[in-house]
Amino acid sequence: MRRKISILLCACFFIFSFTNFGFCQQVVPEGKSEITQVNKSSEKIVSSPKDIKERTNIYVFVAWMWLAIFVLLYIFRQKIKEVDRLYHLEFFKSDRK
């Protein structure tokens, strides 16, 4: 049950992230139907968030991502302990017999 809830939460989180940030949506600005109309870069372009809103969103995303990772690491640590115990008890071996 705990695993299903974790998977569901992670799935919701990633779906929300992608839909909210709008990646893969058509973003041609009005009046620009073709990419050829975009000004050619004559200067170096530095990657960075566009505005303070995007910057905040990204910091929140990173924080949530690491939180989700630590929660999942804890769950997997418990799962590893459990499956190792079952293996040492030869649980699956007797099950197959």
The SS3 assignment for 46 reads: coil
Q: Is 53 in the site for another protein (CB under 8 A)?
A: no
Tell me the closest approach of the beta carbon of residue 38 to another protein, in angstroms.
5
The SS3 assignment for 34 reads: coil
Q: How many residues does the chain have?
A: 97
Q: Is 3 in the site for another protein (CB under 8 A)?
A: no
DSSP secondary structure letter of residue 23: T
Chain-centroid distance of CA 36 in Å reads 33
Tell me the closest approach of the beta carbon of residue 66 to another protein, in angstroms.
6
Provide CB contacts within 8 A for 38, sequence distance 6+: 32
Q: Is 41 in the site for another protein (CB under 8 A)?
A: yes
Return the residues of window 67-96 that contact another protein according to CB under 8 A.
69, 72-73, 76-77, 79-80, 83-84, 87, 92
Which residues here bind another protein, judged by CB under 8 A?
Answer: 21-25, 27, 29, 35-36, 38-48, 50, 58, 62, 65-66, 69, 72-73, 76-77, 79-80, 83-84, 87, 92
